[in-house]
């Protein structure tokens, strides 16, 4: 049976429990039998696509925040710290 699945995982061919599924709908010819029915199907598809984009944006923002947080907890980059003539570390 034909099926429309909208997910945010572009590489996996198999869905897992961790795969966000925004639309999973079996489709039948009746879904395209009238302009109204087709418009409703397209509207559901558009909602799912917008939701998938929102999920991806939130994921990207979360990853960027985690990267910034991890960098801020780490030590100063080695290239910015030098050793003075007496062996004491100094910022350059």
CA atoms within 13 A on the CB side of 71: 8
pLDDT at 92: 40
Supply the DSSP symbol for 32: G
Q: pLDDT, tens digit, for every residue of 33-88?
A: 999 999 999 999 999 999 999 998 998 898 888 888 888 877 555 544 444 444 44
pTM for this predicted structure: 0.63
Contact between 58 and 69 (Cβ < 8 Å): no
């Amino acid at each position: 049976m034909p099926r429309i699945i909208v997910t945010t995982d572009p590489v996996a061919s198999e869905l897992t429990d961790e795969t966000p599924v925004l639309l999973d709908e079996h489709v039948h010819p009746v879904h395209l039998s009238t302009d109204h029915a087709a418009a409703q199907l397209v509207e559901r598809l558009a909602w799912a696509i917008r939701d998938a984009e929102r999920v991806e944006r939130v994921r990207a923002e979360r990853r960027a925040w985690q990267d910034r947080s991890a960098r801020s907890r780490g030590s100063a980059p080695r290239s910015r710290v030098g050793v003075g003539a007496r062996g004491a570390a100094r910022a350059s």
